[in-house]
Structure 1
Amino acid sequence: MPIQLSTSVVHLPDLISDLGLILATAAIAVLIFKLLKQPLVLGYLVAGFLAGSEFDFFPTVKDMNSVSVWAEIGVIFLLFSLGLEFSFKKLMKVGGTASITALTQIIGMVGLGYLVGYWMGWGKMNSLFLGVILSISSTTIILKTFDELGVKAQKFAGNVIGALIVQDILAILMMVLLSTVAVSQQFSGSELLQSVLKLIFFLIIWFTAGIFFIPTILKKAKHLLTDEMLLIVSLALCLLMVLFAANVGFSPALGAFIMGSIIAETTQAEHIEHLVKPVKDLFGAVFFVSVGMLIDPEMLVKYAIPVGILTVVVIFGQSFLSTIGTLLSGQPLKQSVQTGMSLSQIGEFSFIIATLGMTLKVTSDFLYPTVVAVSAITTFTTPFMVKFSTPFSAYIEKQLPKKWAKRIERYSANTQAIRSESNWRIVLRAYLIHVVIHSAIIVSIIVLSSTYVLPLLNGSKFAHIIAAFITLIIISPFLYALSLRRVAIEQVNELLKVRKYRGPIIMMVFLRAILTLVLFGFLLNVFFSPGIALVALVFCLVLFWLFPKKLTARYYKIEERFIKNLNARELAKAKRSRSDLTPWDGHMASFDVARESNIAGKTLEELRLREKLGINLAYIKRGDVVINIPSRNERIFPGDEISVIGTDGQLKELKVFLDQNETDAKPEIKEPDIVLRQIDLKNQEFIGKSIRESNLREKTNGLVVGIERNGKRYLNPESNMILSDGDILWIVGDKKLLNELTHN
């Protein structure tokens, strides 16, 4: 009987077939663009165009709604990863230069973009979105360009990266404001102010609560969390914050960014970032491909003139405004021009903001493909702008009138001289931060209690009393801190010695006490009538007077936990950095290999670090794996931590070499399982043999990095050097094996 083959066809959901088409097209496109040494973002855009409905000679995505969902997930994980790389401390360290540069650029470009859009007849809402879209430079494109041109170690590059950090924060803020404007369809100053205050309030609450709870939870559960579980927990936290942000009226992307920035302060931030990267890359690729799908050739031909105009506006407007901002911050003319010309493009954040406009249905169909076209052109021009910024700055210096050049130099020098902060500014900032944070915490606890705790007790006769009492117990430490906690003690004591500052400081203390009473009254008014609230206020003030020590102890315990969690990452690094093993002026130091470092993928033999710089490689840490005393055939991978031994001068040269290859250094880090040990050679087994014949490398799983003989010192001795009685050896190797060798 012949065998009958089934002719039925299994139906494959469009979601699966579309995702397969997107990823296959993206893979081919990015490989081609990698070979052409072009930004991968452009490859994704081309892949999207090929898979979109506007290109007839290629399979087309069937269900665009599903792709839109995937793309929105991509935005969420892109912002989550950006948050993991970001730190609020990093923003505080950016300083005035980057902040002034970014603010000048964004304010100027928003206004310029709005005027250009309105001049072209695009309407108020299109013009507003256009201005915001044109104001944000591309972090991805700039970092890639710096890497390819090898300029990341130059001083202006630090200004550019700092400005990008500030831009990312301001972009998040502008997304919130655009959402508010889009909903109300009008430019109401009161509504915008309300949105800003609401955003600041929730940022404070999310950050303080997140830093207090999340690092503690991750630390206590560390022994239970495998890589798989840690990835799931991290993504779950991200999506929970996305849900919270959406429920209070903010962009989901904002929630993802905030959670990423909270996790960035934990000791497991690098590990989580490594685990999340494949997820981010996958969904990020889908997002950029979905952007490319919206490219309409007919629309681009129709709007070719606006594309050209906007390209010129971006290149020259961004360059000019960023240069002016950098000059205003007090930087020299050359660095200002280099900074300005480096920021002359738009990229991934512009796509996200354009997507927001389409999602809210407040922008026209032509805006999105126009923005994509401008981004593609400015991506190609960015390397040339960076490359020619140095000769162009020299040309401007020659052409400027000498009087102007001297004024710029004098202004830069004066600005650098007055950057030290006075005690009065330190006190003002400390008081403002203290009042804002504690007020936000108190108000949020009261609102949460009235919203969730009080309804649970509605069946009880004393529901309001119980709810108010619970709330009071929770906020009492913060009320104490708001009214009585001393802030900037040293600076305040110095200022009190000067008569003109005594009155203002006493007034600030008095205002804190008044604010505490107002918040206290707000609590009682939420749960009681005004008459009962007055009686309860007197009663609570008596309690505060009777139990000050307990309130103080509770607050300091909470504050200690918060500060410990906030500084946990730095404390962990500092703990690993202590080392007292230094042969002569040589010591151990550790470096992190960046993801796109030029040395990644090369063997130690190819790098020839010992021959070129005189340093020795002690170990390579790759995730949880440590490769002690790696062989010459061992390769360096992105994300590796390499520990080396050398003198201060040698390590300085190594840092310069690595900085040119996008690598960040951390001083003085020592792995506990591998040590640098001094050994007096008294063992007759080794005397008279060469270093190679002695098998010291095999016996210690280490390396002889120095020999002292008759007062002379030899760093990095050759393997054929004969060992003599009385030699002092410095060996880096396995701690246990070195101990055994010493005791034998």
Structure 2
Amino acid sequence: MHGAHEVLQAIAIVLCVAAVTTVLFQKLRQPVVLGYILAGLVVGPYLPIPLVANSEVVTTLSELGVILLMFSLGLEFSLRKLFAVGFTAGLTAVIQCAIMIWLGFVVGRAFGWTSRESIFTGALIAISSTTIIAKAFDEQGIKGRLRELVVGVLIVEDLIAVVLMATLTAISNGAGLSMGALALTTGRLVAFLVGLVVVGLFIIPRAVRAVVRLNRPETTLVASVGICFAVALLALSFGYSVALGAFLAGSLVAESGEEKVVEHLVQPVRDMFAAIFFVSVGMLIDPALVAKYWAAILVLTVVVILGKILGVTLGAFLTGNGTRTSVQAGMSLAQIGEFSFIIAGLGLSLKATGEFLYPVAVAVSAITTLTTPMLIKVSGPVASWVDRKLPKPLQTFATLYGTWVEQLREAPPSKTRGAVVRRTVVLLLVDAAVLVLLVIGTSLAAGKVSAFVEERTGLSRELANYLIIAADTVLAAPFIVGIFTLARRLGTLLAEAALPPRTDGKVDLAAAPRKLLIVTLRVVTILLIGVPVVAITQPFLRGATGPLIILALLVSLGVAFWRGATNLHGHVRAGAQVVVAALAAQSHSKEPGAEEHALDDVPKLLPGLGEPVPVRLEDKSPAVGRTLAQLNLRGLTGATVLAIQRGEESVSVPTAQEVLRAGDVLALTGTHEAVEAAKGLLTGDTPQPPIHGEPAGAHA
């Protein structure tokens, strides 16, 4: 137990030093999180400065900061929002975590660490820091779709972390990769979440509404924080993180409809304890250990930043979030945090890793905590730059892919198609599971089998090993082919749901978009199945067999994708002529409302171009006199201009240097959200999205 004076002394030292550093960083216009980390370095035990705070006391208090930060995050992210982005966030998190686990394992083996140490390395760099991102987003005012997507990915990552820790414990205790134990762990987690949500929805929203009706702010604050800590403690008692419990508590309170009142009251308390949390992170930085393991820390830091940016961006884009939001999400999630400490500590307590891994994890976390606010700040301009540098076919694809995913989500349900899709997914999972078991089983039994073959046949041990590998390859080939075939079948089913083929014998004008969508969905399926399979089996394989197979499949699909994207670009250019003709026809029409409905028939004539919307530029439009390049319309909103009608003149697929004039009618296409954002930018009805690095979440 800590004495009262010891706690008071720790709080006084931490908050006073943090106050000075944060004022300094505010003056320098830098994120205050960096000031808190610097304060932690100052009051930590590793610098010869006579201002040392008791690290145990600070760590205990910092736990309250994590709980209150997660509770506040849950307040603005109700269960309805979580379910809305759950599918997208889940796929993105699975792709990202699988890639990072594999990369971490490869790096660990490259440094000569044991297989267990390498597996733990992959696990600890796979999970991003919810606490750090929550604070950085609050500081920079990131809202809207970007925030919802990132928080959704973080919640799914936390659930993955729970399963990872159970699996790592089994491996470290010698229980191995038992599919039964893994299924039991996952089932317990799902049962806990469902039970908590169902019971919580009956009790917490009603209780919060009753307390708020008393109109006593202090009572509302005490009751809300009490609910937060109670649910966090409940999660901890079931073996899950307090962060997960606090987030669910916030989401349940948000269902009451009084989240704004509660958030306003909790914010000052949250900010104080959040400051202590970030100071505690700074206190863990030991300059001597950083110097000793600088090479591993540097490599892992680069892998975390680049790997997470790539993995999250890829996953977010393939699930239909557009270039800008995907890049911003990737750059927001490029760090590790509290779960990394837990996983590294788990390896230490189980004696599965050396003592070096914990300080390495802390150092990588501290460095990526420093870089996160800066990456978030520049993510908008970087996303715009990426969009500008994409080849024309990819720019066209990036715009239309979002509309296809949107159409797929809005496609009318079909019992027959749904049943076939579910059966195909089950077969994919079965093939993947059998493949994993085959590889692991062969690897574990290879020594005994080769000795048996050597004894019975007289063949050398090396030749026997080659024969076992050949036999394993022959046995695995049908399942690899099966995954590839099923991926194509699934892609075709989903693509035809989004862009139905014509059945009347007429020319199928959706053929080019549908073909490209099929290839893209195959890529998504292979990534979702193949990357986790490679991540799981890599410790049991020699060399880079698994990654090379995935790479070969993706390269072959990449060639087909590029051809499809090129054909799509030509399809869009031809379609733009139809849009021009429709705009020209309405310009001569005397009927009221003709302009508004000028493009209503285009989706029927040209499926795959989305639902083009006409927008007229008035004299006061902020877009008048500016080029499309200066507006950066596609980079900022995700919508693109198919055509421009200018009096008697028409422009099909305008170039970036096209100057917009008053009276121009622009045909915009993209997702509904992207088109609405573009209309606001063109007409001045909503604030222009920031360009020079300010928060852009609400417009992404």
- Aligned with residue 345 of structure 1, among 334, 338, 341: 334
Measured after TM superposition, the shift of residue 119 of structure 1 is 3.0
Superposition deviation, residue 281 in structure 1: 1.3
Structure showing the higher strand proportion among its residues: 1
Aligned partner of 1:358 in structure 2 is 345
Provide Cα deviations, 1:707-735, integer angstroms capped at 9, x if missing partner. xxxxxxxxxxxxxxxxxxxxxxxxxxxxx
Q: Is the 8 A contact 2:150 2:329 kept in 1?
A: no
Question: What corresponds to 2:385 in structure 1?
Answer: 391
The separation in 1 between residues aligned to 2:397 and 2:243, in whole angstroms, is 44
| Counterpart position of 2:609 | none
Correspondence for 1:135 among 126, 130, 145: 126
Q: Deviations over 1:147-176 (max 9, x none)?
A: 9999x69xxx83x43431222211321332
Match of 1:367 in 2: 360
Q: By how many angstroms is 1:190 displaced?
A: 2.2
1:20 matched residue in structure 2: 12
Seen in structure 2, the aligned counterparts of structure 1 residues 108 and 148 have a Cα distance that, compared at 3 Å, is same
Change (3 A) 1:132 1:260: farther
Q: Could you tell me how far 1:387 is from its partner in structure 2?
A: 2.5
2:157 to 168, 171, 179: 171
Q: Which residue of 1 aligns with 2:293?
A: 303
What corresponds to 2:166 in structure 1? Answer: 180
Contact map agreement 1:77 1:256 (CA 8 A) in 2:
yes
Deviates more, 1:48-57 or 1:364-373: 364-373
Alignment of 1:332-731 (within 5 A): 334-335=323-324, 338-339=327-328, 342-343=331-332, 345-346=334-335, 350-355=337-342, 357-358=344-345, 361-362=349-350, 364=355, 365-376=358-369, 378-379=371-372, 382=375, 383-384=377-378, 386-397=380-391, 414-424=404-414, 653=684, 655-656=686-687
Structure 2 residue 125 is the aligned partner of structure 1 residue 112: no
CA contact (8 A) 2:93 2:315 kept: yes
Amino acid paired to 1:30: T
Larger Rg: 1
Q: Distance in 2 between matches of 1:653 and 1:409?
A: 22
- Could you say which residue in structure 2 is the equivalent of 1:217? 207
For 1:135, what is the secondary structure of its paired residue?
coil
Query: What letter is aligned with 1:374?
Result: I
User: Is the 1:142–1:342 contact (alpha carbons within 8 Å) kept by the matching residues of 2?
Assistant: no
Q: 1:420 to 1:310 in 2, by over 3 A?
A: same
Question: 3-state SS of the aligned residue for 1:419?
Answer: helix
* Partner Cα separation in structure 1 for residue 329 and residue 57 of structure 2: 40
Q: In the TM superposition, what whole-angstrom CA distance separates every residue of 1:451-477 from its partner, at most 9, and x where no partner exists?
A: xxxxxxxxxxxxxxxxxxxxxxxxxxx
Instruction: Report the equivalent of 1:64.
Output: 55
Structure 1 residue 43: Cα displacement: 1.3
Aligned partners of 1:649, 1:64: CA distance in 2, in Å? 51
The residue type paired with residue 231 of structure 1 is L
Q: Give the CA deviation at 1:658.
A: 9.1
Code of the aligned partner of 1:16: L
Q: Cα distance 1:409–1:656, how it changes in 2: closer, same or farther (>3 A)?
A: closer
Q: Aligned AA for 2:23?
A: L
Q: Is residue 343 of structure 2 the alignment partner of residue 312 of structure 1?
A: no
Letter of the 2:80 counterpart? K
- Normalising by structure 2, what TM-score? 0.54
Alpha-carbon distance change, 195 to 57 in structure 1, aligned in 2, over 3 angstroms:
same
Decide whether the 8 Å contact of 1:227 with 1:275 is kept in 2: yes
Aligned partners of 2:343, 2:69: CA distance in 1, in Å?
15
Aligned pairs, number: 428
Q: CA deviation at 1:298?
A: 0.8
CA–CA distance in structure 1, aligned partners of residues 284 and 136 of structure 2: 26
- Residue 85 of structure 1 is matched in structure 2 by 76
| Residue 259 (structure 1) aligns with | 249
| Aligned-residue offset at 1:20 | 0.5
Identity value in percent: 32
* Conservation of the 8 A alpha-carbon contact between 1:94 and 1:162: yes
Retained in 2: the 8 A contact 1:137–1:343? Answer: no
2:93 alignment partner, one of 78, 84, 102:
102
What residue number does 1:242 align with?
Answer: 232
Q: Deviations over 1:499-519 (max 9, x none)?
A: xxxxxxxxxxxxxxxxxxxxx
8 Å Cα contact 2:309-2:331 kept in structure 1: yes
What is the CA-CA distance between 1:146 and the residue it aligns to? 8.0
**Per residue, is there more helix in 1 or in 2?**
2
CA distance in 2: counterparts of 1:357 and 1:405, whole angstroms: 42
- Any unmatched runs of 5+ in structure 1? 1-10, 433-610, 614-647, 666-744
Q: 1:353/1:229 Cα in 2 relative to 1: closer, same or farther (>3 Å)? A: farther
C-alpha change, 1:75 and 1:188, in structure 2 (3 Å) is farther
How far residue 140 of structure 1 moved from its aligned partner, in angstroms, is 7.3
> 2:687 aligns to what SS in structure 1?
helix
Q: Distance in 1 between matches of 2:211 and 2:134?
A: 36
Q: What is the SS of the residue equivalent to 2:410?
A: coil
Deviation at 1:45, TM superposition (A): 1.1
**Conservation of the 8 A alpha-carbon contact between 2:127 and 2:157:** yes
The Cα offsets for residues 598-628 of structure 1, whole Å up to 9 and x where unpaired, read as xxxxxxxxxxxxx999xxxxxxxxxxxxxxx
Give, in whole Å, the separation in 2 of the partners of 1:67 and 1:145.
Answer: 21
Q: CA offset at residue 657 of structure 1? A: 5.6
Counterparts of 2:309 and 2:680, CA distance in 1: 38
User: Quick one: which of 21, 24, 32 aligns to 1:40?
Assistant: 32
Distance 1:324 1:658 in 2: 23
Distance 1:218 1:427, change over 3 A: farther
Deviation at 1:289, TM superposition (A): 0.8
CA distance in 2, matches of 1:378, 1:261: 29
Q: Secondary structure at the match of 1:37?
A: coil
CA distance in 2 between partners of 1:149 and 1:59 (Å): 31
Secondary structure in structure 1 of the residue aligned to 2:234: helix
Residue 23 (structure 2) pairs with residue 31 (structure 1): yes
Greater displacement, 17-26 / 406-415? 406-415
- Note the residue ranges of structure 2 that are not aligned, 5 or more in a row: 423-619, 623-678
What RMSD in Å do the two structures reach over aligned CA positions?
A: 4.0
Tell me: CA distance 1:81–1:114, structure 2 relative to 1, closer, same or farther (3 Å): farther
Which residue of 38, 44, 48 maps to 1:52? Answer: 44
How far apart, in 1, do the equivalents of 2:228 and 2:396 lie?
Answer: 52
